[in-house]
Amino acid sequence: MKLEAIGLTKRYGSFLALDGAAFQTGDHARVVALLGPSGGGKSTLLRVLGGLLLPEAGVVRVDGAPLPHDEAGALRALRRNGFVFQGYNLFPHLSALENIMLPLREVHGWADAEAHARAIELLARLGLEAHRHKRPAELSGGQQQRAAIARALAPRPALLLLDEPTSALDPVMTGEVLDVIRELAESGQQIVLATHEISFARKVADWIVFLAHGRVDVSCPAAEFFDQPASPLAREYLQGLSRYR
């Protein structure tokens, strides 16, 4: 995939979350990692790229096609993508199986049998088949996040967008979820990932977009970013994160 953004602006009240952010990836970026300090604009950019938020100004292109800026068009774009958030966002009254089936039936119009078969396939793939009838409160954090990933993957999205998917997990659960994401990347799934897991981003990403203060400071191949960061801000960020790792 190729992602391009020109002059993206997005405000939350008086806070300027994206301040003319602009970048372009290579033509065949498979896993793009959004890195940068907290509050720098990663999550907002991720939501704009996926059609979940409309920018106040600017253009986004995915493989050369501009994303629509009207609500109906953005909704169509959103349905082509899969989102996974920090807080899982599973329906608490539904089982893991039902959480995956519901959007397939209600949003994408799948028949019940088809949705059930797809949900079982993904639960097995992500190591959750034995837990398919459990509600979120009966699952560990890592299991809940894997169920959320399964739900996002269910309609076979063009892009899987992950917003700091391990931020609420302990180290063991973090490893579980990162293993799943790595396997998805290796299988060819196109992914845009906002994360602070630098060592993981170094292993799976082939392109890095580094943001600070609502602007893109660096956009380059991952190997170049980690081996020879092009800006003082990026160097300071990497040194700060690696100090105790």
- How far apart CA 5 and CA 58 sit, in angstroms, is 7
- pLDDT tier, 171 (very low <50, low <70, confident <90, very high otherwise): confident
Domain 3-80+158-242 class? alpha beta
Average pLDDT, the chain: 91
Digit-coded pLDDT (tens) for 96-145: 999 999 999 999 999 999 999 999 999 999 999 999 999 999 999 999 99
Digit-coded pLDDT (tens) for 64-80: 888 877 777 777 777 78
- pLDDT tier, 158 (very low <50, low <70, confident <90, very high otherwise): confident
Supply the pTM of this predicted model: 0.92
- Residue range 193-220: average pLDDT? 94
Digit-coded pLDDT (tens) for 18-37: 999 999 998 889 999 999 99
Question: 218 Cβ partners below 8 Å, 6+ apart?
Answer: 208, 209, 210, 225, 229, 230, 231, 234
- Residue range 42-59: average pLDDT? 92
Domain spans of the chain, in order of start: 3-80+158-242, 91-157
